[in-house]
Amino acid sequence: MLGYVLRRLLLLIPILFGLSLIVFLFVRALPGGPGIALLGERATAQDLQEIEENLGLDEPLPVQYGRYLKNLATGDLGTSVSTRRPVSEELSRRFPATFELAIAAMIFAIGLGIPLGYIAAKRYQGVLDNASLVMSLIGVSIPVFFLALLLKYVFAVKLGWLPSIGRINILIDLDHPTNFYVLDSILTANWEGLTDSLKHLILPAIALGTIPLAIIARITRAATLDVLSEDYVRTARAKGLDPSIIGRRHVLKNAMLPVVTVIGLQTGLLLTGAILTETVFAWPGLGTLILNAIRFRDYAVLQGGILFFAVLFVLMNLLVDISYAFLNPRIRYR
Amino acid sequence: MSITEAEAAQLAFERPSGLWRDAFERFVRNPAALVGVVLVLVFVLAAIFAPAVAPYEPREQVGVLARNPAGPGDGHIMGLDEQGRDQFSRIVFGLRLSLLVGVVSVLVGLSFGLVFGALAGYLGGRIDFALMRLMDLMLSIPGFLLAIGIVTLLGPGLFQIMFAVGLVQVPTFARLLRGSILGQKEGDYVLAARSVGVPGRRLLLVHILPNSIAPVIVQATLAMATAIIEVAALSFVGLGPQDPGLPELGKMLADNANRLQQSAHLVFFPGLAIVISTLGINLIGDGLREAIDPKLRT
């Protein structure tokens, strides 16, 4: 097991190198050359000369790449053209917003998806089962930005139950020790801030969580159906065990393996879904940061953002694989 | 007629039932898949015969300019947009673009993916290793983000986003076909073909590929739905076609997202069009998967 984890960690190294190489080449392939790309079109000749020296653009590519890696290792991702702040600072300031949204979306998806899939399997081919199948099919066919707009229309515009943009009412005074607003409100005992930030979280979380919800429900249903036909379930029934205990201990526990894998994979994909959800709800996270970077040709932020997202994605997948190995000792890893 | 003769006659009447015939029979017995076929038929027919189906030209101004145009009525079943254009006509032409986008993106992804996958699976060794590490690298960047990166390089535009979305699908197809070929390569029929001296290229193209292609077809169907959504999404974030009059569904959504309060129909109908077309394709894809491999039935 430990060997497996170590091997996976070692495999991470070439992937991270490859990623950095892609992002490095990406900036150099941008229209107008990296100097203009990183500084913007209104850069002065002096600025240009400075960055060209800094990046060593007259030197051979391998040397430039080496320098780029050195900068990366010290956490230097360059400076944003539009805000003049270091890219690393922008990323760390925005990350909690996206992460908070992703967690809320996952709580929604798991909390609803597993019971739904389980009940659907128990009532196989019943009304509820078919309804959940149809729902999950629609769930995977609906673009996340359209769903986000629909939710906004119904619950914010028409019914007025929930706020439609931002993370918190700007009139609420909330300190931000962590930039996770829900956590911040709890830490500073600001209950008004807590209810308001939770209210702001609901619609984006549902929009972002619906696709994972559909997929988790489908997988849970399939896995539960598989386990329900196992001999040990029949044996447990035959010896007169309480059906609720069979459900919990025999069925659900064994059905969880594929579900956990899917949950992990979905968590990684949530990061991209967040880009679209954040746009609709004007959520100040990494997604809006990246989109603004595209809009204002802020390539320093764009390359940093892509690298950051990709590394996060890779780490998340690694975590899934490792947790899967822990959960499923039946699988032997070479 | 002797008994043997009778049996022989009866045998001759029984049609040989191959994989594809079985699959077809399972497919037509699947109600969900048939619903998918109907949805896709409506979608494809509307797309192909768009000029005949749409009552107006998609760029033609047929009503008044309005900041917040009123909803359906007055002969326009889906209302007018802010430029006074008939929305139903725009959506019909938008479906045409979506169909084009889905087909082209998947063809891009398929053609690269098939070549890479076939080479890697069939040749093995170093080529396999190099190609698969490249695919791993591409998969390590979330697809939508990779597409954003590619479009940034190529510049915004319809063809650029189709290409980007197709490129993002290459690793999926390559890995799928490679795995499938690796499974087939060990088959007895390949050994038999090789031992009677069938040359390598023919072995791959005529014997191995047709037997490995089933999962790829299923994936290609599902990928088309993904491609339509992803292209709409790229367009939604402003990387799509720059021509303001082009009736692209994602762009229509983006342009009208801030009119949600007064003119929700401008958001509702284009979105619904995307959902219906992708839902149909997904239903067919799922149906195909179940038909080709009933073991996967969920």
**CATH number of the domain residue A251 falls in:** 1.10.3720.10
What length does chain B have? 298
Please state the rounded mean pLDDT for residues B167-184.
Answer: 87
User: What DSSP string runs through B151-200?
Assistant: HHHH-SSHHHHHHHHHHHHHHHHHHHHHHHHHHHHTSHHHHHHHHTT--H
CB < 8 Å to B257, chain A: 149, 280
For residue B282, the chain A residues in CB contact (below 8 A) are 137, 140-141
What is the average per-residue pLDDT within B263-277? 86
The segment with the largest mean pLDDT, out of A62-76, B39-53, B105-119, B283-297, is: B105-119
Query: Closest Cα of chain A to B220: distance in Å?
Result: 16
For chain A, give the number of residues: 334
Type of residue found at A280: V
pLDDT band at A105 (very low <50, low <70, confident <90, very high): very high
Compute the average pLDDT of residues A249-265. 79
Overall average pLDDT of the A163-179 stretch: 75
pLDDT of residue B165: 92
Q: Which amino acid is at A299?
A: Y
**Is B251 within a domain?**
yes
Q: Is the pLDDT of residue B68 over 80?
A: no
For residue A107, what pLDDT is reported? 92
Give the Cα separation of B269 and B2 in Å (integer): 69
Residue A40, pLDDT above cutoff 80: no
pLDDT band for position B8 (cuts 50, 70, 90): low
Do residue B298 and residue A222 have CB atoms under 8 angstroms apart? yes
Closest residue of chain B to A20, computed from CA coordinates:
B137
Q: Name every chain B residue with its beta carbon within 8 A of the beta carbon of A14.
A: 133
What local confidence, expressed as pLDDT, does residue B294 receive?
A: 57
CA distance B248 to B270: 9
Of residues A189 and A138, more confidently modeled: A138
Q: Residue A163: which residues within 8 A CB-CB, separation 6 or more?
A: A156, A169, A196, A199, A200, A203
Report yes or no on A135 lying in a domain: yes
**A315 and chain B in contact, CB less than 8 A:** no
> How far apart, in whole angstroms, are the C-alpha atoms of residue A131 and residue A126?
9
Tell me, yes or no, whether B31 lies in a domain: no
In chain B, % of residues over pLDDT 90: 11
Answer yes or no: do A14 and B283 touch at CB < 8 A: no
Mean pLDDT to the nearest integer, A53-68: 75
Nearest-CA distance A111 → chain B (Å): 21
Q: Is residue B41 part of a domain?
A: no
Residue A144: closest CA among A105, A86, A173 = A105
A146, with CB counted inside 10 A (0-12, 13-18, 19+), is: buried
More confident residue, B112 or A23: B112
Rounded Cα–Cα distance for residues B112 and B168 (Å): 10
Is the distance from CB of A98 to CB of A271 less than 8 angstroms? yes
Out of A221, A271, A313, the one facing B140 most closely (by C-beta) is A313
**Residue A299 confidence (pLDDT):** 78
pLDDT tens sequence across A190-242:
777 778 778 888 899 999 999 889 888 888 888 888 888 888 888 888 888 88
CA distance B51 to B62: 16
The whole-angstrom distance between residue B250's C-alpha and the CA centroid of its chain comes to 17
Close Cβ partners of B268 (under 8 Å, ≥ 6 residues apart): A150, A153
How many structural domains are present in chain A? 1
Q: Is residue A77 part of a domain?
A: no
CB neighbours of A323 closer than 8 A, spacing ≥ 6?
A: A260, A264
Residue B147 maps to a domain: yes
Residue A197 lies in a domain: yes
Q: Which of A149, A225, A294 sits opposite B253 (nearest CB)?
A: A149
> Which pLDDT value is given to residue B298?
42
**A329 Cβ under 8 Å from any chain B Cβ:** no
Within 10 angstroms of residue B74's Cβ, the number of other Cβ atoms is 9
**Average per-residue pLDDT for chain B:** 82
Q: How far is CA B276 from CA B148, B234, B284, in A?
A: 25, 19, 12
User: Does residue B81 lie in a domain region?
Assistant: no
pLDDT band at B108 (very low <50, low <70, confident <90, very high): very high
Q: How many CB atoms lie within 10 A of CB B223?
A: 26
Q: Are B283 and B35 in contact (CB under 8 A)?
A: yes
Q: CB A291 to CB B267 under 8 A?
A: no
- Whether A9 maps to a domain, the answer reads no
Of A18, A26, A150, the CB nearest to B153: A26
Half-sphere exposure of A77 (CA within 13 A, CB side): 24
> Residue written as tokens 């066919």?
A141
Report the C-alpha dihedral over residues B238, B240, B244, B249, rounded to 10 degrees. -100
pLDDT grade for B218, boundaries at 50, 70 and 90: confident
Say yes or no for a CB contact (<8 Å) between B279 and A276. no
Mean pLDDT, residues A115-141:
84
Domain span at B135: 88-298
Is the pLDDT score of A333 beyond 60?
A: no
Q: 3-state DSSP: chain B helix, strand, coil percent, rounded to 5?
A: 75, 0, 25
Query: Does residue A266 lie within any of the structural domains?
Result: yes
Both tokens of A287, joined, read 């997604």
> Does B104 have pLDDT greater than 90?
yes
CA gap A219, B55 in Å, rounded: 44
- Cα gap A81→A32, rounded to integer Å: 15
Residue in the structure block whose two tokens are 């091997």 = A7
**pLDDT greater than 50 at residue B39:** yes
Residues of chain A contacting residue B298, judged by C-beta atoms under 8 Å apart = 218, 221-222, 225
- What the block records as the tokens of A144 is 């996340």
- Residue A40 tokens, joined: 């913007």
B168 pLDDT band (50/70/90 cuts)? very high
With respect to residue A232, please indicate whether it lies within any of the assigned structural domains.
yes
Q: How many of the other CB atoms lie within 10 Å of CB of B63?
A: 18
Backbone phi, psi, residue B297, to 5° = -55, 130
Measured between alpha carbons, how far apart are the two ends of chain B, in Å? 49
Terminal-residue alpha carbon distance, chain A = 10
Is residue A138 less than 8 Å (CB to CB) from chain B? yes
Using 50, 70 and 90 to split pLDDT, how confident is the model at B297?
very low
B106 domain residue, yes or no: yes
| Interface contact A276, partner B, CB < 8 A | yes
pLDDT score at B9: 55
* Nearest chain B alpha carbon to A124: B298
User: Comparing B81 with A311, which gets the higher pLDDT?
Assistant: A311
CB contact under 8 A, A138 and B238: no
> How many structural domains compose chain B?
1
CB neighbours of residue B266 within 10 Å: 26
Residue B166: pLDDT band with limits 50, 70, 90: very high
Q: How many Cβ pairs within 8 Å bridge chains A and B?
A: 120
Q: Which residues of chain B are within 8 Å of residue A30 when distances are taken between CB atoms?
A: 152-153
The pLDDT value given to residue A334: 44
Is residue B206 one of the residues assigned to a domain?
yes
* Residues 60 through 99 of chain A touching chain B, CB cutoff 8 Å: none
The average pLDDT across A32-45 equals 67
Average pLDDT value over all residues in chain A? 81
Cβ A136 vs Cβ B286: under 8 Å = no
> For residues B60 and B92, what is the distance between their CA atoms, to the nearest angstrom?
14
Q: A26 CB near a chain B CB, below 8 Å?
A: yes
- Reference B145, options B172, B171, B164; nearest CA is B164
B177, part of any domain? yes
Whether residue A207 contacts residue A148, with contact meaning beta carbons closer than 8 Å, is answered with yes
The range of the structural domain enclosing residue A132 comes to 95-289
Q: How far does the CA of residue A168 sit from the closest CA of chain B (Å)?
A: 20
Q: To probe the interface with B, which of A129, A145, A315 has the most B CB atoms within 10 Å?
A: A145
At position B62, the amino acid (one-letter code) is V
Q: What is the CATH number of the domain that holds B204?
A: 1.10.3720.10
Cβ neighbours of residue A325 closer than 8 Å, sequence gap 6 or more: A1, A4, A5, A331, A333
Question: What distance in Å separates the CA atoms of residue A99 and residue A94, rounded to the nearest whole number?
Answer: 9
Q: What percent of chain A has pLDDT over 70?
A: 92
A272 touches chain B (CB under 8 A): yes
Closest-CA residue to B245 (of B79, B54, B58): B58
Residue of A nearest to B263 (CA): A153
CA B64, distance to chain mean position in Å, is 37
Which stretch of A274-283, B274-283, B288-297 has the lowest confidence by average pLDDT? B288-297
